[in-house]
Structures are given as structure tokens and as C-alpha cells.
């Protein structure tokens, strides 16, 4: 294998495509290293731009170097005698092609490594200065260099890696052998267990057969014992009179307690209803009192505001009266001044007229020639005197006009003040009337408030009495309920209390549940003994609408561990719906017990199932004659 040709374009100083053969001295070895050496594999964009041609003229945008190998000796693992490896670079591109097919960098490294150009042997291209360094090496260094050049170090590393892998594979094989031995031991154990299981299954089948045989024998024996017990029971019924009487008394006490309990519950219900009514009435009265108090406060505020307005109007009226009195005083003074001015004016006018007349007389007597030098002086002096007199007269007239104007203005102001005083007196009278009306409304509201407060206190007393009565009724009901629970068996009491717990503590839906049988029947005290004898603990069975309700409640009781209870689904009892007819041969000495018990119609199927086959007999002799139809007496 050798390099036949190197083609370069746009790389370094080679702008145009250049073809070199047989290693032309002009060839740039850097171009070969650019394609083959690992030092140029990972290059950044700026480093690739430095390898592009930068001469005169148009700048190249990409460059490529192609090395043509002679593969006639098959050094490259390819079925071709000539291999072309090209590398093309640009600012954003760096790619390899092998015989005009794109390959990645890892494939180029693998191809070169298969031909002996290993990454661990950097001496397949000897750079400048390496020969001098090799000549100065010691023998040991040259030996290491020869190993590195010959590629023996790579093979030694691979041999060591292969030995390590082989040792790991050996240890894994030993582990697998151990696991296989353990699996074989487990398989032997499983085979042994399988044989034991088959033997156990056979023995279990035989055991079940034997158990079924024993159960069948025990069932036959139990049936015989049952017949015997029935015969014994028939004999014992004749001697059960005293016990029945004791049970009758206990049942009578129980029924009395139940009656008292129902009465107390009814009283508690009535008291609760009354308490609710009283609470509602109390809330209504409280609201009414609150509204009345608000209205009273509003009325009081309005009265206060009216009083304030009235006092303010009175103060303004008093001020106006004072102002009117002052203005009237000033008016009187002005009137007096005007009258004195008019009288003084009249006196002055008279005096002026007298003076003029006397002057004229003197002038006539003395003559004008004695006083004045000429007529012109006399006329001028007289004109001056006339002008002075007219000026004095005009000033007097102007003063009189001003006094008349001021008098008219004071009269108008006095009229306005009089009108304002009349208006304010009307407002004061209106405010006084409103104040009286508000005082009356306030008195009525205060009286209504007192009535409401008294009514509220009465309602509070009634509430307190109702709460006491309700508390007493609840205490009596609790005592009666406790007495009733004492009469129940423990497991029955636990189941009934469990149902109450499901409703109160766990919030279980109790629709379709009607309570126990004893809560829904009433009868004369005479028949308490008979009812207790016939029903027994079934008096505490729980009535439900359907068997689905019963199943759900049984699951809830079991889930919360609240005991057990016996349920009577109304959709599963009652038979054909017809009441059994009593025997006619005894007349009125024998009657059905069901006719003496009162209950709601919806519970008839359960009551018929419980008491339908029972008869009330007049005495023991009639009862021992065993009426037809396997009925109990």
C-alpha cells in the first residue's frame, strides 16, 4: 500500500485544483497530515478558516484534499485496488468522503487503524525534528519506539484486555455453575414437594369423604334428638305455668318500660317542637326588639336634631329681634334728626327771608351809592351773596334728601326683618309641632320596647322551662333505654348499638331501616307474657325493606366490628298475604295472637311471620288439645 496521488484545491497556497503524483517535491505534507493525522480531526470554525486559501482575487469558500491510495496488497479491508479518501472543509462544514460516499470521523479512524495508521502509533507520519530526537535516544527508548511503531504495544494492551475479559468470563462461569447447582437442588426439592402434595390431596379427599359420612351420621342423630326434644317440650309445656307467669311479669315490666320510653320520647319530641317554636318566637321577638331599638335610636336622633334646630332658630330669632330693636332705635333717631333738620331748615328759611327783606329795606333806605362805588360792584356783591345763599340752600336740600333716602332704606330693611321674623316664627311653630309629634312617637316606641323586652323575658323563661323539661325527658328516656338494654342479651344489645353507631359516627345511609320489632308493636298488658313467650329475642330483630339493605348493614357491622344483628327483610316474609284462620271447633276460646297486636300496615308481613302461627287459648285444657295445623298455643 502506498499513496499514488494527492489532489488539492483551495487549501493553503493551492487555490486551483492541483494533482501530484509520485510525491512531487512541491507537495505540502501538511495536506496529507490534514487528511490522515488525528491532530487535525477536531477543528473549530476559525481554525478551518485559517486553512483556506487567502491569496489575491476572489476568496475561496471551501477547500478539499483527496489522497489516493494503492490498495493492490489489500492493506485496506476493501475489494478495490484504489481508494480515494477526501476531506472537505468550510466555515460551517467538515466532512469526509470515501470513494465519493460520505463517512463520519469514527469510520475514517477505524479504516486508517485497519491499515496500520493507529492512534496509538503517531509515527506513520514523521514530522520535522523527529529524526534528530530518534538519533539521540537510548537503546531502551529506541526499543520502546520500535514497539510503538510496530504496533506491538496495541496488541499487548489488547492481549491484557482479553485476558481480563477471559478471567471475568471464568468467574462468571463458576457463578453460573453454582446457580445451576442451586437450581437443580431446588428442582429436586420441588419434585419431593410435588409428590407430597399429591399424597396430601389424596388424603384430603379421603378426609372430606370421612367428614361427610360423620356429618351425615351426626345429622341423623340430631334429627332423632330433635324429635325426642319436641316430645320432651310438649311434656314440659304442661309444667311451664309458673315460669311463664314469672316471664309474664318480666315481660309486663319490660312492656311498661317500653311504654314509658315511648311516652317519654313522645314528650321529648313535643318538648323539642315547643322548644323550636319558642326559639323561633324568641328570634322573631329579638329581631322586633332590635328593629324597635333601631327605630327608637333614629327617633331620638331626629328629636335631638329637631331640638338643636329649634334652639338654633330661637337663637337666630332672638338675634334678629335684637337687630330689629337696634334698627328701630336708629330709625327713631333718624326720624328725630330729620324732624329737627326740617324745623331748623324752616327756621333758617324764615330767617333768610327776613334777612333778605331787611337787607332790601336797608338798601332802599341807605341807597346803593353809599355802600358800593358803582353798580357793577353792587351787582357782583349781591350775586356773591345770592350764590352763597343758594349753595347753602342746595346743601341743606341735599342733606334732607340723604336723610329721606336713609329713612326709606331703613323702612325697607325693617319690613324685610319683620317678614323674616314672621317666617322664623312659623318655622319655630312647625318645629315645636314636629318635636311634640316625635316626643309622642318616642313615648310609643319606648312603651313598645318595654313590652317587647317583657315578652322576650317571658320567652326566655319559657325556653328555660322547655329546656329543663326536655332535659328531664331526655334523662327519663335514657334511663328507660338503659333499662330496656338490660333486658336484651349482650350480643343483641351490641348489634342494636352498632346500628346506632353506624348512623351517628360513620354516617352510613340508613334508608330502608325501621328499627326493632318491639318499637313497632303495641298490645294490651294482658298479652305481654304471650308475646314474650312466642317472640323471645326476635322482639329485637331489625326490620328492613329489602334483603339488599340487610346485606349492606351486615357488611358495615362486620367492617367496623360493631357486633351482629338479626334483620327481617319485609320483601322476603309474609307468605301469600292471607291471615291464617283459627280453628272453629273451639269457638271464642281460641283466637289468633296477631289480632291482639297493633302495628302499622307496612310491617304486617314481618308480624305475620313472627306471630301468624300462634293462638291465644282460654285456659291450659284448651291449649293441650293441640288444635289442628301445628300451631303454638
pLDDT tens-digit profile of 515-550? 888 888 888 888 888 888 888 888 888 899 888 888
What H or E segment, with its residue span, contains residue 65?
Answer: strand 62-70
Work out the mean pLDDT of the chain and round it to a whole number.
77
| Residue 13 confidence (pLDDT) above 80 | no
Element housing 226 (H / E): helix 152-238
Tens digits of residue pLDDT in 337-367: 767 767 776 777 677 777 767 766 666 655 5
Q: What is the dihedral of CA 149, 152, 155, 161, to 10 degrees?
A: -110
The least confident of 183-187, 207-211, 578-582 is 578-582
Question: CB of 413 within 8 A of CB of 327?
Answer: yes
Spatial contact of 580 and 592, defined as CB atoms under 8 Å apart = yes
Q: Is the dihedral of CA 519, 524, 528, 533 positive or negative?
A: negative
Query: What burial letters (b/e) apply to 289-310, b meaning 16+ CB within 10 Å?
Result: beebeeebeebeeebeebeeeb
Residue with cell string 323563661: 461
Which carries the bigger pLDDT value, residue 334 or residue 39?
334
Stronger pLDDT, 628 or 184, i.e. the higher one: 184
The set of residues, in sequence order, having a beta carbon less than 8 Å from that of 417 and lying 6+ positions away, is 320, 323, 324, 327
The answer, yes or no, to whether residue 194 has pLDDT greater than 70, is: yes
The pLDDT of residue 630: 45
Q: Could you tell me which residue, 621 or 177, shows the higher pLDDT?
A: 177
pLDDT higher than 70, residue 455: yes
pLDDT band at 268 (very low <50, low <70, confident <90, very high): low
pLDDT beyond 70 at 41: no
Instruction: Indicate the SS3 state at residue 11.
Output: strand
What mean pLDDT do residues 83-99 have?
85
3-class secondary-structure state, position 632: strand
Higher pLDDT pick, 583 / 231 = 231
Please tell me which residue, 177 or 56, carries the higher pLDDT value: 177
Sheet of strand 513-516, all strands in order from the earlier edge strand to the far edge: 513-516, 542-544, 567-569
Residue 38 has pLDDT above 60, yes or no: no
SS3 content of the chain, % helix, strand, coil (to 5): 70, 10, 20
pLDDT band at 183 (very low <50, low <70, confident <90, very high): very high
User: By C-alpha distance, which of 338, 361, 353, 434 is closest to 389?
Assistant: 353
When pLDDT is averaged across residues 110-124 and rounded to a whole number, the result is: 66
Distance CA 531, CA 538 (A): 10
Please tell me the distance from the alpha carbon of residue 179 to that of residue 193, in angstroms, as a whole number.
21
Task: Note the pLDDT of residue 166.
Answer: 92
Q: How confident is the model at residue 629 (pLDDT cuts 50, 70, 90)?
A: very low
Give the pTM.
Answer: 0.32
Amino acid at each position: 500500500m502506498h499513496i499514488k496521488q494527492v489532489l488539492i484545491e483551495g487549501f493553503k497556497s493551492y487555490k486551483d485544483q492541483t494533482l501530484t503524483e509520485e510525491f512531487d517535491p512541491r507537495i505540502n505534507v501538511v495536506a496529507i497530515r490534514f487528511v490522515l493525522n488525528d491532530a487535525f480531526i477536531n477543528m473549530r470554525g476559525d481554525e478551518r478558516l485559517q486553512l483556506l486559501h487567502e491569496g489575491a482575487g476572489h476568496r475561496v469558500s471551501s477547500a478539499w484534499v483527496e489522497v489516493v491510495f494503492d490498495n493492490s496488497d489489500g492493506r485496506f479491508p476493501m475489494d478495490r485496488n484504489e481508494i480515494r479518501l477526501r476531506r472537505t472543509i468550510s466555515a460551517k462544514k467538515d466532512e469526509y468522503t470515501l470513494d465519493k460516499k460520505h463517512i463520519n470521523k469514527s469510520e475514517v479512524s477505524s479504516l486508517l487503524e485497519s491499515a496500520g495508521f493507529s492512534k496509538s502509533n503517531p509515527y506513520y507520519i514523521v514530522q520535522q525534528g523527529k529524526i534528530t530526537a530518534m538519533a539521540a535516544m537510548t537503546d531502551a527508548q529506541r526499543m520502546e519506539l520500535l514497539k510503538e511503531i510496530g504496533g506491538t504495544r496495541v496488541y499487548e494492551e489488547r492481549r491484557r484486555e482479553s485476558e481480563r475479559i477471559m478471567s471475568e468470563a471464568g468467574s462468571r462461569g463458576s457463578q453460573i455453575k453454582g446457580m445451576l447447582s442451586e437450581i437443580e437442588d431446588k428442582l429436586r426439592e420441588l419434585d419431593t414437594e410435588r409428590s407430597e402434595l399429591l399424597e396430601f390431596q389424596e388424603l384430603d379427599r379421603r378426609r372430606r369423604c370421612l367428614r361427610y359420612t360423620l356429618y351425615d351420621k351426626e345429622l341423623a342423630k340430631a334429627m332423632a334428638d330433635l324429635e325426642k326434644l319436641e316430645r320432651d317440650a310438649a311434656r314440659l309445656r304442661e309444667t311451664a305455668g309458673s315460669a311463664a307467669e314469672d316471664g309474664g311479669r318480666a315481660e309486663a315490666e319490660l312492656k311498661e318500660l317500653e311504654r314509658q320510653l315511648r311516652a317519654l320520647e313522645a314528650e321529648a319530641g313535643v318538648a323539642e317542637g315547643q322548644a323550636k317554636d319558642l326559639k323561633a318566637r324568641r328570634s322573631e321577638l329579638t329581631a322586633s326588639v332590635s328593629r324597635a331599638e333601631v327605630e327608637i335610636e333614629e327617633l331620638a336622633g331626629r328629636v335631638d336634631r329637631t331640638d338643636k334646630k329649634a334652639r338654633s332658630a330661637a337663637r337666630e330669632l332672638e338675634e334678629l329681634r335684637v337687630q330689629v330693636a337696634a334698627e328701630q332705635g336708629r330709625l327713631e333717631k333718624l326720624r328725630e334728626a330729620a324732624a329737627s333738620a326740617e324745623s331748623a331748615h324752616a327756621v333758617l328759611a324764615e330767617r333768610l327771608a327776613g334777612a333778605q327783606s331787611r337787607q332790601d329795606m336797608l338798601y332802599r333806605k341807605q341807597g346803593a351809592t353809599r355802600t358800593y362805588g358803582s353798580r357793577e360792584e353792587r351787582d357782583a356783591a349781591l350775586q356773591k351773596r345770592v350764590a352763597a345763599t343758594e349753595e347753602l340752600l342746595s346743601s341743606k336740600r341735599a342733606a334732607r334728601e340723604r336723610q329721606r333716602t336713609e329713612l326709606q332704606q331703613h323702612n325697607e330693611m325693617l319690613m324685610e326683618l319683620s317678614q323674616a321674623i314672621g317666617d322664623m316664627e312659623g318655622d319655630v311653630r312647625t318645629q315645636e309641632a314636629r318635636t311634640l309629634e316625635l316626643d309622642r312617637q318616642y313615648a310609643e316606641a319606648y312603651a313598645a320596647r318595654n313590652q317587647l323586652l317583657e315578652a322576650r323575658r317571658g320567652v326566655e323563661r319559657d325556653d328555660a322551662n322547655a329546656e329543663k323539661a326536655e332535659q328531664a325527658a331526655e334523662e327519663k328516656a335514657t334511663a328507660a333505654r338503659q333499662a330496656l338494654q338490660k333486658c336484651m342479651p349482650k350480643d343483641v344489645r351490641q348489634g342494636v348499638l352498632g346500628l346506632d353507631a353506624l348512623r351517628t359516627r360513620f354516617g352510613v345511609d340508613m334508608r330502608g331501616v325501621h328499627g326493632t320489632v318491639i318499637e313497632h308493636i303495641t298490645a294490651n298488658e294482658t298479652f305481654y307474657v304471650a308475646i314474650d313467650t312466642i317472640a323471645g329475642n326476635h322482639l329485637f330483630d331489625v326490620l328492613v325493606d329489602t334483603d339488599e339493605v340487610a346485606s349492606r348493614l351486615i357488611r358495615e357491622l362486620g367492617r367496623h366490628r360493631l357486633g351482629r344483628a338479626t334483620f327481617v327483610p319485609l320483601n322476603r316474609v309474609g307468605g301469600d298475604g292471607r291471615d291464617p284462620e283459627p280453628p272453629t271447633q273451639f269457638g271464642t276460646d281460641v283466637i289468633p295472637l296477631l289480632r291482639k297486636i297493633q302495628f302499622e300496615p307496612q310491617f304486617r308481613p314481618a308480624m305475620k311471620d313472627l306471630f301468624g302461627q300462634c293462638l291465644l287459648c282460654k285456659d291450659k285444657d284448651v291449649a293441650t288439645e293441640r288444635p289442628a295445623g301445628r300451631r303454638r298455643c
